[in-house]
Amino acid sequence: MADPAKFYLSYNQIHKTVKRLSEEIKSTGYDPDVIVAIGTGGFIPARMLKTYINRPIYTVGISYYDENDKPKDAPEKVQWIDEVENKLEGRKVLLVDEVDDSRITLEYCLRELLSHKPAEISVAVLHNKNKLKEGVIPDEVSHYFVGNELEDIWICYPWDAVDIDEQEKMAHTQ
Ligand code: G4P
Ligand code: MG
């Protein structure tokens, strides 16, 4: 059931946000060698971004919440790019995720990736929630790109929709 207190987005709206984000990234001259997508929310945005910034996409999976939606003590790797980690050394990396919420997962990923000595690392998120953050973006990160700044509300992404027609309808009435 659609909940009017939540913020619904369509694929079309997200595609346009990604396009804008790509233009902002290009305007700074940041030209990544590789994209790293944080799964699973970052997978589809990273693929959309590839349409505008055509680079190989590596994926990582991090879980910070348990099966009861309670935060764990620390994020855990569900899937990691062990076999390609060494390919990050000396490369320019763009880390992509859908939402910057607590920032804990983002910080964890950034620190892990930084330990593999990339030439440079930047991060791009579709949405940043304006709230007190528990994590920090490390100083070594050269750019932080945001599609849209939002208040602290629950965002419903189309890839989570069970009823995509209802999702589209909600996305267009908000
Ligand atoms: P952060 O560093 O990016 O801020 O992430 P944080 O640890 O705070 O929590 C991340 C998890 O919570 C992610 O999912 C993220 O997708 C989800 N999340 C946070 N806010 C929202 C929201 O408004 N809407 C939706 N749909 N998800 C949100 P995850 O459990 O790590 O994995 P996955 O869902 O990406 O597979
Ligand atoms: Mg999620």
End-to-end CA distance of the chain: 16
Q: What single-letter DSSP state applies at residue 4?
A: T
Tens digits of per-residue pLDDT, 102-112? 999 999 999 99
The number of the ligand nearest the C-alpha atom of 111 reads: 1
37-46, 62-71, 152-161, range with the lowest pLDDT: 62-71
Given this model, what pLDDT does residue 76 score? 80
Whose structure tokens read 């290009």?
26
Supply the residues annotated as catalytic. Answer: 101
Choosing from 99, 104, 136 the residue with most ligand 1 atoms within 8 A of its CB, the one to mutate for a pocket test is 99
154 lines ligand 1 (CB under 6 A): yes
118 lines ligand 1 (CB under 6 A): no
In this predicted model, which residue has the larger pLDDT, 84 or 17?
17
Which value, to the nearest 10 degrees, does the dihedral of the CA atoms of residues 28, 29, 35, 40 take?
20
Residues in the chain, overall count: 174
Q: Where are the beta strands (DSSP E) in the chain?
A: 7-8, 34-39, 57-65, 71-79, 92-100, 120-129, 141-150, 155-156
Neighbours of 53 (CB within 10 A): 19
Q: Residue 40, preceding bond cis, omega within 30 degrees?
A: yes
6-172 placed in CATH 3.40.50.2020: yes
Contact residues for 54 (Cβ-Cβ < 8 A; gap 6+): none
Given this model, what pLDDT does residue 54 score? 98
Looking at the DSSP bridge assignments, the partners of residue 134 are: none
All structural domains of the chain with their residue ranges: 6-172
Query: Mean pLDDT over residues 135-159, rounded?
Result: 98
State how far the Cα of 63 lies from the Cα of 78, in Å rounded to an integer.
Answer: 6
Query: How are beta strands 71-79 and 57-65 bridged, if at all?
Result: antiparallel
Helix (H) or strand (E) holding 114: helix 104-114
Tens digits of per-residue pLDDT, 37-63? 999 999 999 999 999 999 999 999 888
57-66, 74-83, 126-135, range with the lowest pLDDT: 74-83
pLDDT at 114 over 70: yes
φ and ψ of 85, to 5 deg: -50, -45
φ and ψ of 60, to 5 deg: -130, 150
